[in-house]
Chain A
Amino acid sequence: MPINREYLVKRLLLLIFVVIGVLFMTFIITRVIPARPELLWAGPHATIEQIKKAREQLNLDKPPHIQFILYLQDFFLGNWGVSWRTRSPILTDVLSSLTATLELIIVAFAIAFILGVPFGVVAAVKKYTWIDDLARIITVIGASIPVFWLALIAQLVFGTWLGILPSAKRVDEWVVIVTGFKQITGFYLIDSLIQGNFMVFIDSLKHIILPAVVLASYPFCLSARMTRAVMMEVLTEPHVRSLVAWGLPQRTIFFKYSLRNTLAPVIASIGLSFGYTIVGAFMVELVFVWPGIGFYAAMSLLSFDYPAVIGCVVIVAIFYCIINTVVDVIHSVIDPRVKL
């Protein structure tokens, strides 16, 4: 499938502007809105010396436009400050925890997509029957459930009461030590397969099930509902009617001819739910002690480690913009009619 090069270039240029816009917004929120930003940056138990130092680091004595330029400079050079909770540079902390979150989110989205699309197709095909009603109740509940509460309940039921699934961390420490497992990419599921280490693979698979399923609840419902809505439109289109007239079996019509036309908007909407899901990951990771960026951000929030929180927010926001761009480009490849 050809990529529209003009569209791609335009979209990438727009991405640069959006990222600068995001940085501008965080600058306004963190440096301009608070009455004394240095107090927030120095932390709750800071000494006067530390506050003075924070004031210098933030360039608060300089005029605002210079402050913004210096802020951008610091950002691109990687001077994001030091977290006083972990006592290491924030950029290092954030980057080292990014892969754990990505692994969790990718698995969650895979679950959501693989289960959600057939669910939506069935609901659309059986529209206005009890099956459709049941599907609707399930999807509405899934979209309305507080994800942190679902995480707690899942942990309680499957981890504590039934004891069939581990409910904290990515992998058991002793398995790592016994098998001599090493990190390569940071994705444990991939690393363990590369090394042929099936014990770690099985163990990390067990660990990822609960958090991933909990995190998948929202994108699952979204993909199911989106598939149903788009599918219902597609099924009324003339080309489907002619397929019916030709006497093709229903399954072929639904899954081969109608589903393809349905997928583009579904993928787009799932991609856009990424922003919601990654903030959901803040809470899910906190509950499941999953050492990703969400856990890091939530712990920083709980201990008022302001610079670390802002670091997470910026990286997640930029990531979100990039994902949106990628989704739009994919969308334009699937559906060439899409324009900027």
Chain B
Amino acid sequence: MRRFREQRIVLSLIVKKPLSFASLIIVLTFIIIGVSSPLIVPYPEDAWGLTYNVEKRFLPPDIEHPFGTDALGRDVFSRVLLGSSFSLIIAIGVIGLALIIGIPVGVLAGYYGGRTGTVLMRITDMFLAFPPLLLAIVLAATLGRGLLNLIIALAISWWPWYARLVYVQTNTVKNMPYVDAAKIAGLSNLKIVSKHIIPNALTPTFVQAALDMGSAILEAAGLSFIGVGVKPPTPEWGLLVSEGWQSINYAWWIAFFPGLAILITVVGFNLLADAIRESADPRIRRTILRKVINF
């Protein structure tokens, strides 16, 4: 009951601040377009990169092609629109896979502690010794180009952060009186972990994970740009920018619009992350409440 009220306060605070509200709209729009874009793109064949129209090369933006056309005469608007689907898939795939690896490691290390915990966390630390994107680059270069490989490479460089977060949370939760009570009541370790530790330790992790989707999109685009991401002609935003690079001096729109799409989407996620972090922090929440509600 209390937790429900808290969530409502956080939500109402977000809706009341214009900047936070805008970010919520951006994120929702991105998700809606991402889900529906294969059905709504104006030129589906252009979007999937199957066509080649010599007479329509490098058309500047107009009503028929709002973002212009590219070097092969394909509609940039359609490709950017379909790109949102790929970004959504990548973001969900990377974060999901990272959680699937990170949560068990964090919970095991945190709950059992001792030697198991130390070994697991040392392995985690080894992954964190690499600059995050660099590990993804070397993995992607090893696995080869492709959507699935890109997701795997990013997820492997990503899970240690969640393992750490879950580890810290589990450590806090396992010392709570109700866990002691459950132990005294004779519950098995499995029951304690699944009924008490996981529900209480994972909420912050899931919030963090949802908001990391912006960064996942950004990094995937970066990998595609330097040639270790998805294969052409996949309309992934980073790859679209790199395709427009060669002709940027006389057809700026090919590289400009996909980059703008990345920027807006990631800004949406990051602003929302900011808003949630601020309104979930009780000290700051009090100040904001006073400001928003004027008491």
Contacts and interface: CB of A to CB of B under 8 A. Distances in A.
Given A144-B214, A156-B252, A276 B131 contact: yes
A11 B1 CA distance: 47
- Interface of chain A: mostly helix, strand, loop or mixed: helix
A147 interface: yes
Given A141-B267, A146-B238, A282-B226, A306 B141 contact: yes
B126 A29 contact: no
B131 A316 contact: yes
A22 B259 contact: no
Given A152-B241, A310-B138, A144 B267 contact: yes
Given A279-B134, A316-B134, A18 B129 contact: yes
Q: A144, A156, A278: which has the most chain B beta carbons within 10 Å?
A: A144
A301 B133 CA distance: 14
Interface in B197-242: 214, 218, 221-222, 225-228, 238, 241-242
Given A25-B130, A301-B226, A40 B218 contact: no
Interface in B92-143: 125-127, 129-135, 137-139, 141-143
B132 A276 contact: yes
B142 A21 contact: no
Interface stretch (A132-140, A174-182, A204-212): A132-140
Interface in A24-64: 24-26, 29-30, 33-34, 40
B45 interface: no
Given A128-B287, A133-B19, A316-B134, A147 B245 contact: no
B130 A146 contact: no
B71 interface: no
A33 B226 contact: no
A136 B138 contact: no
Contact of B255 (A18, A141, A152): A152
B267 A30 contact: no
Interface in B16-75: 19
- Interface of chain B: mostly helix, strand, loop or mixed: helix
B271 A145 contact: no
Interface residues of A, number: 49
B274 interface: yes
A149 B270 contact: no
Contacts of A140: 267, 270-271, 274
B129 A21 contact: yes
11 contacts: A22-B129, A29-B142, A148-B222, A152-B245, A156-B252, A275-B134, A282-B137, A301-B141, A306-B141, A309-B141, A320-B129
Interface of B: 19, 125-127, 129-135, 137-139, 141-143, 214, 218, 221-222, 225-228, 238, 241-242, 245, 248-249, 252, 255-256, 259, 262-263, 266-267, 269-271, 274, 287-288, 291
